[in-house]
């Protein structure tokens, strides 16, 4: 055994032969299951780990060339080089459309410049991170500010709100007089209506992100939120105007005033309920289907309650049932459908025009 080892040490060995002799990798099979095999390294770092610490640069280069396959060169594009990429021949308008070669340029005298070596960058194309409202500081600040202002309004007017809720639950015939709203209450109610518009915009923004992807990808999120908020504000403004005009023609002052308080209370209830759903969507990733079902359930409950109150206030007798259906569908059901169509239409217009 010692003689064989001495004979082996006397043979001349090149770096390539050393690599082949010391490191050989075979495929795993059933016959070699009992032998200790090692997986073939796939990276330069893994190959260099096979060498001893005192390996020379020639040995490192030799084992890398022997074990790491060089990728095939990528065919270059034949289109004009408008970016003036190094290593390509193109035309530069600054030089009077004369042909030039970047190989014989700034880096040609460097000893590190080797254009004859093919190179291909490994890896995969990166995917952009999906925009999230929860990670937007401006949207978070706006939602938190609106929440604290609404909480402050409720804390300062809790007694009047309780009284209005009691009047809401009573039949109209048992109410002798309605409470007049103060200026502070009017400002708070106006803010809650604007908060309702913002909440509707946030919920529809989530729908746009998952269902109208072309609109979402081609427009700024702030533009989408702003347009949706303006559409919702226009919806409430037109609706309040229509109510005041129709009720002024057909009903007396006391009934109009009581219906105004009932409707404002329903809008505030809609705001609180939709705001909770919006928080679940933004910060707890509530599924779009679940959010849609919650919004439909909230709107259906409020519309049913308004339908009952409308019957109690304006249409007490049975022959007026047809008028009730016409009144309620015209001023409540139809505007909701028009709001949805307006949100979808104006968001798609952004994609068409931009």
Q: Does 207 lie in the same domain as 337?
A: yes
**Does residue 131 sit within a domain?**
no
Residue 86's pLDDT is what? 55
Residue 9's pLDDT is what? 38
**Beta strands 89-92 and 98-101: pairing type?**
antiparallel
Strand partners, 98: 92
Residue 175's pLDDT is what? 58
Q: Does 55 lie in the same domain as 145?
A: no
SS3 (DSSP) at 100: strand
Domain containing 58: what range? 13-66
**Does residue 76 sit within a domain?**
no
**Does residue 107 sit within a domain?**
no
Spatial CB neighbours of 173, under 8 Å, sequence gap ≥ 6: 312
Q: Does 47 lie in the same domain as 182?
A: no
Whole-number Å distance between alpha carbons of 161 and 264: 11
Q: Does 298 lie in the same domain as 199?
A: yes
**Does residue 80 sit within a domain?**
no
The secondary structure of residue 103, as a DSSP letter, is G
The C-alpha angle 155, 158, 161, rounded to 5 degrees, equals: 140
Q: Does 169 lie in the same domain as 310?
A: yes
**Does residue 31 sit within a domain?**
yes
**Does residue 112 sit within a domain?**
no
**Does residue 27 sit within a domain?**
yes
CA atoms within 13 A of residue 171's CA, in its CB half-sphere:
6
Residue 138's pLDDT is what? 93
- Residue in 128, 338, 169 with CA at minimum distance from that of residue 266: 169
Residue 36's pLDDT is what? 45
CA atoms within 13 A of residue 301's CA, in its CB half-sphere:
11
Q: Does 199 lie in the same domain as 328?
A: yes
- The H-or-E segment that residue 91 falls in is strand 89-92
Total domain count, the chain: 2
**Does residue 328 sit within a domain?**
yes
Residue 184's pLDDT is what? 75
Tell me whether residue 280 is exposed, middle or buried, using C-beta atoms within 10 angstroms of its C-beta: 0 to 12, 13 to 18, 19 or more. Answer: middle
Q: Residue 84: which region, alpha, beta or left (left: phi > 0; alpha: psi -120 to 50)?
A: left
The shares of helix, strand and coil residues in the chain, as percent rounded to the nearest 5, are 65, 0, 30
Q: Does 173 lie in the same domain as 60?
A: no
Q: From first to last of its 354 residues, what are the pLDDT tens digits of the chain? A: 444 434 433 334 444 444 444 555 544 444 444 444 556 777 888 888 888 888 888 888 888 888 887 767 666 666 665 665 555 454 544 544 444 454 455 666 777 777 677 666 566 656 667 788 989 999 999 999 999 999 998 898 888 888 888 888 877 665 555 556 677 788 888 999 999 999 999 999 999 998 888 888 888 999 999 999 999 999 999 999 999 999 999 888 888 888 888 899 999 999 999 999 999 999 999 999 999 999 999 999 999 999 999 988 888 776 778 888 999 999 999 999 999 999 999 998 887 665
* CA distances for 7 relative to 3, 11, 121, angstroms: 6, 7, 45
Residue 97's pLDDT is what? 41
Residue 197's pLDDT is what? 96
Taking the CA atoms of residue 201, residue 146, residue 141 and residue 237 in that order, the dihedral angle to the nearest 10 degrees is 30
Helix-then-strand count for the chain, H and E: 13, 2
Q: How far is CA 300 from the centre of its chain?
A: 28
Q: Does 334 lie in the same domain as 247?
A: yes
Spatial CB neighbours of 226, under 8 Å, sequence gap ≥ 6: 201
Q: Does 237 lie in the same domain as 328?
A: yes
Q: Does 184 lie in the same domain as 41?
A: no
Spatial CB neighbours of 221, under 8 Å, sequence gap ≥ 6: 131, 133, 136, 139, 205
CB 293 within 8 A of CB 203: no
């Amino acid at each position: 055994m010692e003689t064989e080892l001495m004979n082996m040490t006397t043979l001349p060995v090149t770096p390539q032969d050393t690599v082949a002799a010391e490191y050989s990798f075979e495929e795993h099979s059933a016959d070699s299951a009992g032998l200790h095999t090692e997986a073939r390294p796939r990276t330069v770092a893994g190959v260099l780990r096979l060498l001893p610490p005192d390996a020379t640069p020639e040995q490192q280069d030799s084992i890398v060339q022997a074990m790491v396959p060089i990728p095939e060169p990528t065919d270059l594009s034949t289109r004009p080089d408008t970016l003036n990429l190094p290593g390509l021949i193109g035309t530069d308008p600054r030089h009077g459309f004369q042909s030039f070669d970047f190989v014989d340029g700034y880096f040609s005298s460097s000893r590190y410049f080797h254009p004859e070596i093919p190179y291909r960058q490994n890896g995969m194309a990166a995917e952009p991170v999906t925009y999230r409202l929860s990670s937007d500081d401006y949207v978070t600040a706006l939602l938190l500010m609106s929440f604290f202002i609404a909480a402050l309004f409720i804390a300062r007017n809790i007694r009047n709100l309780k009284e209005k809720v009691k009047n809401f639950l009573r039949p109209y015939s048992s109410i002798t007089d309605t409470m007049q709203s103060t200026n502070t209450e009017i400002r708070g109610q106006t803010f809650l209506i604007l908060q309702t518009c913002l909440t509707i915009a946030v919920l529809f923004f989530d729908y746009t992100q998952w269902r109208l992807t072309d609109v979402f990808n081609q427009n700024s999120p702030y533009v989408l939120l702003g347009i949706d908020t303006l559409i919702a504000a226009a919806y409430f403004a037109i609706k309040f105007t229509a109510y005041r005009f129709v009720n002024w023609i057909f009903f007396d002052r006391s009934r109009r005033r009581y219906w105004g308080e009932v409707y404002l209370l329903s809008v505030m209830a809609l705001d609180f309920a939709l705001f909770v759903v919006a928080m679940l969507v933004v910060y707890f990733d509530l599924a779009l289907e679940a959010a849609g079902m919650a919004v439909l359930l909230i709107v259906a409950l409020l519309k049913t309650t308004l339908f009952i109150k409308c019957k109690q206030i304006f249409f007490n007798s049975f022959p007026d049932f047809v008028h009730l259906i016409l009144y309620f569908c015209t001023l409540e059901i139809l505007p909701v459908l028009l709001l949805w169509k307006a949100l979808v239409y104006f968001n798609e217009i952004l994609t068409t025009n931009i």
